[in-house]
Each structure stands twice: as structure tokens, then as C-alpha cells.
Amino acid sequence: MVISVLVEISFNNKEKTFDYLVPKNLEDKIEIGKRVLVPFGKQNLEGFIIDIKKNSEYDLKEITSIIDEEPILNEELLNLGKELKKDLVCNLISIYQAMLPSGYKASAKTNINVKKEKYVKLANIKEAQEFITTSKAQKQIEVVEDLLKNKISLKSKYQSNIIKVLKDKELVIEEEKEKYRLDNSYKIEPLLKLNEYQEGAINQIENSKKDVILLNGVTGSGKTEIYMHLINKQISLGKTAIMLVPEISLTPQIINRFKVHFGNKIAVFHSALSESEKYDEYRKIRRGEVSIVIGARSAIYAPLKNIGIIIIDEEHSSTYKQEHNPRYNAIDVAIIRGKYHNAKVVLGSATPQIESYARGKKGYYELVSLTKRANNASLPKVTIVDMKNEVKKGNSLFSEILIEKMREKLENNEQVILFLNRRGFSSYQLCSSCGEVIKCPNCDITLTYHKTSGMNRCHYCGYAEKKKDICPKCKNESLKDFGQGTEKVEEEIKKIFQSYRTVRMDIDTTTKKGAHEKIINSFLNHEYDILVGTQMIAKGLDFPLVSLVGVINADTILNFPDFRSSERTYQMLSQVSGRAGRGNIKGDVIIQTFNPDNYSIELSKTHNYVDFFNKEIKIRKDLKYPPYYFISLIKIGSKDYNLSLSESKKIANYIKENISEDMIVLGPSVAGVSRVNKIYYFQIIIKFRNKEKMREILNNVSDLENNNKVSISIDINPC
Ligand code: ADP
Ligand code: ZN
């Protein structure tokens, strides 16, 4: 027998499969989709069996061993990989690897195994019954009686010396059983009864002829409840479901709602799970022991069979796009899998991506809207504060009205969330005599000062150094802290509201496993009055006692040089303000900004996404951005600045020579962050309408590059 193996090696980005001989004794274990180890040069490489042949005309080497007991990728996933490759300009094997949980990769040196537990049971019932009546050994009798009652029990339940005696007497035999590390057996609670709007939405979804549904519902409109009902329906039909959430560790509340309804039917993929736990969850799925998979981006590859529905919550979230190879977007993957299984794909959001909503309006997607909050809660009142006026009054961090409102709510025994988009104490150190800004030696980016550790840190490469006292350029002791971070806000708030309890949530306070959940739960239990945090607190959280959300600086995203910056700002503001007034108390939102007239800030006042969409879509059309044009981003990097630049020019010229009329090439230009980790980056942006033609050009670009001192990354549809 001969097999074709796709190995983990590539030549000039061209994929290679190699044929190998299978020794006779392994032949009946060979199946497409299993991984094997094969000799390659002097080493052994891992590869996927992608074809089985009778024989070959060449003289072949034998495979070394078979890695998997069962095929790790089924036919659907193998074909899905080929389909995705067309749009991703990367190696097929890297796509296959991305489909597996990290512990499955050959490169992962962790020692993952199946956890086993020892059980005991009776060897023979008759003999056991006889033993109870004849024996005088009371302790042994008790064990045998217990086993007569329970049939099989954990060995650890009994004294080991007694079990040993009973084993010697051949009354009891031992058995090992697999144990999953995570147990999702919860007390099951029924689903909520849906309100009429939710019912209407479900009817529209279930009766739709379209493959993809866009569920556009304001924050708190009860989308999660709708997801659960939709899934419930599919389960009752004997089907399975995938539900994606942006970052699972940030959404413990949603996960919990699912667990108390679906219990052991769920497998959860959590970034905080250990490799072994992931391995167990994955096996549960492969064996068909669960019918619902909840997880972040990569859970879209869950090897479920018979999928009935795929749900993507907060579909606008950029976390669904992988930012390194393979640069897949989980929504695209969902749509392909949905087609295969004849399952609907439901995209949910209060603030959908502009492209998604445009597709909904055009009728490519079924557009379902919910404009009211579920439990009769009203949407919060939003006030926009012009910080230019506040700075004149000497209030650089907090406006008068924010402090006033905070006091009012806190005195009422209600809770407050303060949101800002930066962690750390102050954004950077700046010299007030010469204007020098302290930057990372590896990257073209300012260092962020962290007060707790007294360090300046680079948020790109992780570089850290002690805070500087003297300006490295003019040698004066005139360095000042500029900007504002979560740590600074926390410190100032603690000074102003001394008698209230403040907690901070950002990457720095949540590095330990379970830290997110701990902060969220203690805030939920009203152990704190004020929560200061970054994006992390914007997503999906439901705190009934929060009646005020303050956005310290709404401009941080707006100032990014990116065509999505308005969209991102609007989404962020809606998400954050969605945390206010979810319970019985009315909510207030205060947005501090230096750009009060910007439409993405101004329109967040009315909670009307459609107004924002209508404004934004015009701009996209005028400036030739998505959804009118596709965009691709090519990044060229090298430690050698001149080489990076000359390669970029070479690539840009190639593209310009080959483009068709409806394509626009911009660049090469210096990348947004021009130097990261001592590598100089240039970028080329291509706007285009014809995907097929673009694919061809981009594939050629990736072949063009054969200098190993230069790296190229190609991102079709960057997020
Ligand atoms: P979304 O996901 O759209 O932000 P949620 O599903 O989290 O909204 O619902 C918001 C709140 O309303 C939650 O506290 C939820 O328990 C409640 N809720 C949702 N649907 C119903 C319903 N049909 N009856 C009562 N309460 C509901
Ligand atoms: Zn750096």
C-alpha cells in the first residue's frame, strides 16, 4: 500500500505531498485524515494522509509510524481546508494545523494523555452472594454488599487493603475507565419564555430561505436567549450546534447561561483551559458525546457531525479574524460549513460590521432586527462632554459632570463602570524641555509607563526598562508623564472616592488563570462600587446594578489611521454604554471626547445603528472602501531597511504591471508601526473588485519572494 502524505514543509510556499510505503502490519490502520510520522532527509516529519493508492512506480521509503488512532480530520474538514486555501494565500498544512487544538500539534512538547480512574466490580454475582452469607469478615462483607447494590464503584471509595484481599479471593475485579477533566453536569434550568419580539425573530430566522441571518438587536434585546432557543430546537431534532463568542474568558456569564441550560451536552473551548483539558473536550466532540460547542475563533473547526446551526455572537468583533497565518476569518469558515451541513449561520450584533449590514440590506443575508430591550429596561441616556472645555477648567482626566453623576449613583448604592482604551499608568514619558518621547529600542512605538512595577513597557514586543528620570537626549530632569491609562484613572478615582471600593480590570490585573471571572463575580456581588477597565469590560457583561458608564476618552480608536476607525469607535461606544441600565434602574452614559462633533461619537447618543450605517456607507462608497471594494494588505519586513524597501518596490511594480482597470495600488509606504522587534515594515494596499484576478496576482506575489532575509505577509480582507 502507498499513501500520499502532506508534510509540514514547504518549498517556495508551494505545497508538497510525498508518497510513502506502508508496512503490511500497519495497512489496516491506514485511513485518510490520520497523521503519520515519515522519514524526510535526516529527520522524521509529521504529515496528514490525504490519499491512499495501490502502488507507485517509484522506489519509496516506509512510513515510521501512525500517530492517530482515529482520523483527526474528517472528509468535511479536509475539503474545507482546500476551499479556504483559495482565499488565504498560505500552506494547506498550516490550515489543517489551525483546525486542531494546540496540544495536538507535533511541535507541542507537552505530554498529554488520557486521564484514567480505577473502578472495582464483582467478578461473579452468585459467588458474591454466597460470600456474604458464609463469610465472617465484616469489612469485606460491607464492600461486597455495596458492590452488589452499585454494580461498579470508584476504587478510591474503599480501603485499598480490603480490595486487595477481595481481589486475591477473585471476588472483585478492577477496571480502568477514562475520565474527562472537565465536568459540565449542572443543575438544569428551563429556558426563559420569549417575548413577542424574540418569538418574531425566531420565526423569521427559521422560515428564512437564506443561508446567513444577520440578527441586529440592541444591547440587552435578548439575543443570547434567542440563540439558546434556536440551539434547543436543533438539538431536539438530533442535530448539533456551534456557538462562537469573541473571547471566551471575557464572557463567563454567557457560558454560564448555556451551561445551566444544556449541561453535559456542551464542550467549551476556553483559552484558559490547560492543554489536557482541551484534549479531553476535543475527544468528547470527536466521539459525538456533546452536541454543542462553545468557543472562540478556532472552535469553528470543531469536528461536530450533523451541524444544525452555527451562531456567531458579536459578529463585528475583530477577534474572529486570525492575525497570523493562516489568516482565516471564522465567519467565512462558518458560511462554508453551514452550506455543507445545510445549517443556518446566525450572525448576531448590536452594531454589525458595515459589510454585513450592507449584505443584509441587499438581501444576501436575512436581516432580523430587535430594537427594544428584553426585560422592559430602557436604553441609557447618553451625554457627550467636550473635553476641550474641561481642560480649560483644569480637568484633564474627569469632567465635572462625570464626577457629579458618579457621586449621585454611588450615594444611591448603585455601581459605576469607567472605561478607557489604554492600560498602564500614563501613556508615555515626554521631556518638557526638548520634546523627546521615550520609545522602544526595538519598535517605532512609545513605551507605556506602569506604575505598580515602575517600568516602561512596549506593548508590541514586550520590552521593559525602568522608568527614566533623566531625558536621554537633553539630559535634563524634565520628563513628564503624559496621557492616561487604567492605572492612573484607578489611582485618581481612589483619591476622589475614598470611601468607595474601586477595582481595575485590564491585561495587567488578569494574567492569572480565573482572574477575569473573579473580578467580574466580585463586582457582580457588589463587593466593589467602581470598575475601571479596558475593552475587556465592554463585551457581553450583564451587571444589573450598574447605572452609570463613563468613557474617559472616546478618541483613542478614532485617531487610528484605519478606514474602520469610525466604525470601531461607534461599536465600542455602543458596547460600553450597553453595560448601563440593564436591570431595573435607569442607566446613564457619559462620553468624554475632544471630537464631540464626529458622527461616530454623536450618533452613539441615539442607539440607532441604522443612522450610523447610512452615514458610514456613503463615506465607504466615496473613498472606495469595503463593501464597495475588497482590500488586501501586503506587509514586507526585514531587519535590513534598504532591503525591505527595495523588495516592497519590486512587489508593488509587479502588481502595478499586472492589475486590471478596477484595481488601485497604494504604496509601498511605511507600515502603521514602521518597526517592530527590530524589523522594518513596509506595506502595499490593493483595492479591487474582482476576487479571482486578485487571488491569482497574490499567489504570484507569494511565489515572487525567495529571499529568506525578507518576510511577506498577505492579508486578503484585513480586519
Ligand atoms: P443581548 O444578548 O441581546 O445583549 P441578553 O440575552 O443578555 O441580551 O438579555 C438581556 C437581559 O434580558 C438578560 O438579563 C436576560 O436574562 C433578560 N431576558 C432576555 N430575554 C428575556 C425574556 N424573554 N424574558 C425575561 N428576561 C429576558
Ligand atoms: Zn518594542
Strands 35-40 and 43-53: antiparallel
Closest residue by Cα to atom 9, ligand 1, is 222
Question: What spacing in Å lies between the alpha carbon of 248 and ligand 1's midpoint?
Answer: 19
Pocket test for ligand 1, best of 202, 375, 574, 609 (most atoms within 8 A of CB): 375
pLDDT value at residue 86? 84
Identify the CA nearest to 247 among candidates 292, 294, 296: 296
Q: For ligand 1, is residue 195 a contact (CB within 6 Å)?
A: yes
3-state helix/strand/coil string of 385-415: EEHHHHHHCCCCCCCHHHHHHHHHHHHCCCE
pLDDT value at residue 107? 45
193 CA: nearest ligand 1 atom = 23
Asked if 101 and 282 touch (Cβ cutoff 8 Å), the reply is: yes
Pocket test for ligand 1, best of 216, 219, 224 (most atoms within 8 A of CB): 224
Cα(515)–Cα(385) distance, integer angstroms: 33
pLDDT value at residue 13? 56
**What 3-state class would DSSP assign to 202?**
helix
Q: For 581-604, give the DSSP string.
A: S-SSS--EEEEEES-TT-HHHHGG
Contact partners, residue 606, CB within 8 Å, separation at least 6: 382
DSSP letter at 452? Answer: T
Give the chain's residues under pLDDT 70.
10-15, 102-114, 181-187, 248-250, 270-272, 422-427, 482-483, 538-540, 559-561, 705-706
Asked if 90 and 327 touch (Cβ cutoff 8 Å), the reply is: yes
Question: What spacing in Å lies between the alpha carbon of 223 and ligand 1's midpoint?
Answer: 7
Ligand nearest to the CA of 447: 2
* Identity of the residue numbered 596: P
Q: For 213-272, give the DSSP string.
A: EEEEE-TTSSHHHHHHHHHHHHHHTT-EEEEE-S-GGG-HHHHHHHHHHHGGGEEEE-TT
**What 3-state class would DSSP assign to 634?**
strand
pLDDT value at residue 547? 93
pLDDT value at residue 247? 79
- End-to-end alpha carbon distance in the chain: 46
pLDDT value at residue 110? 44
Asked if 479 and 438 touch (Cβ cutoff 8 Å), the reply is: yes
Question: What spacing in Å lies between the alpha carbon of 298 and ligand 1's midpoint?
Answer: 27
Q: For ligand 1, is residue 542 a contact (CB within 6 Å)?
A: yes
Question: What spacing in Å lies between the alpha carbon of 463 and ligand 2's midpoint?
Answer: 5
583 CA: nearest ligand 1 atom = 14
pTM: 0.83
Backbone torsions φ then ψ of 236, nearest 5 degrees? -65, -20
Task: Please state whether the peptide bond connecting residue 627 to the residue before it is cis, i.e. omega within 30 degrees of 0.
Answer: yes
Contact partners, residue 174, CB within 8 Å, separation at least 6: 118, 119, 120, 155, 163, 167
Asked if 3 and 20 touch (Cβ cutoff 8 Å), the reply is: yes
pLDDT value at residue 109? 42
* Identity of the residue numbered 318: S
Question: What spacing in Å lies between the alpha carbon of 711 and ligand 2's midpoint?
Answer: 18
